[in-house]
Amino acid sequence: MGNDSLVSRAERSLVLNNPSTENPRQQVTAMETFVKKRSFISEARSPQKKIKLESDEGMEQDEEDEEFSHPVPWQKIEAEGLDCDYALLFSKEEADNLCKQLEEEVVYSTGEEAKVQVFGKVYDIPRKQATYGDAGLTYTYSRVTRLANSWTPTLEYIRDAVTKTTGQAFNFVLVNRYKDGQDHMGEHRDDEKELDPLCPIASVSLGAPRDFIFRHRDARGKQSLRQIEPVKLELAHGSLLLMNSPTNTFWYHSLPVRKKSSLPRINLTFRRIVVDRKK
């Protein structure tokens, strides 16, 4: 995710230990224990109920009884100004296979694109990154503009699965690979101007489960304006987290260091870039 910060501000957060399970429903239920009590979780259907299909004449028509082809049990995560949907998108077996395929296909950035500038100093990004998407798309974050590589077969497959589940179309993905719990991502918001404000950011997690922490913008730092509890959860292997508007306006998110985690994790954040603004 964009606007990288090297130093996580969530190191005082509670260490969460969620035993893994191969039962998707058990994983979704167990996930509830990782959200602070002040946030609200409820079961929900897919964020959108219908798919709009194009007829042979090119006209859009509503298919009233057509449900998404990948129905999943959703969990709603809410707090003041925070609106997210969480579900297990892939079974453990499929998630394992996707992880292996991505390890073979994805080519990560090197050189200057693997560095970030913070307060005038240049640092290595504490994880590997890659950008893929539709031809010609670029995305600027952390003061670096990155050109999208062509979609790989596995990235296309995952993108299409997310679209079938949510009804949202995505033209760009940022891939972050964490070799272990030492790799991390500091607090930031995905609020770049080229992103479509009406489209959620879809975050797919594969590999080792990792803690994910939301912190309200008014509750950050020693001189915070308000006392608002952070929202903490664990992103499971094969899971999908939708960050809906206005979440990225009010809440920062991070993936803090977890020294006990020794396995790799790959995170895919699918976005929709407004093409007209790139011309």
56 marked among binding-site residues: no
* CB-based contact 168:200 (threshold 8 Å): yes
Output the six-digit token pair for 24.
């998707």
253 marked among binding-site residues: yes
191 marked among binding-site residues: yes
271 marked among binding-site residues: yes
141 marked among binding-site residues: yes
* CB-based contact 125:132 (threshold 8 Å): no
119 marked among binding-site residues: yes
For residue 96, the surrounding DSSP H or E stretch is helix 92-105
Angle (CA) 73 91 94, round 5°: 140
108 marked among binding-site residues: no
237 marked among binding-site residues: no
CA distances from 130 to 15, 107, 151, 182 (A): 29, 7, 11, 19
Relative to beta strand 231-235, strand 144-147 is unpaired
140 marked among binding-site residues: yes
* Length of the chain, in residues: 279
121 marked among binding-site residues: yes
Residues tagged in the binding site annotation for 2-oxoglutarate: 176, 178, 188, 253, 265, 269, 271
Residues tagged in the binding site annotation for substrate: 119-121, 139-141, 191
Residues tagged in the binding site annotation: 119-121, 139-141, 176, 178, 188, 191, 253, 265, 269, 271
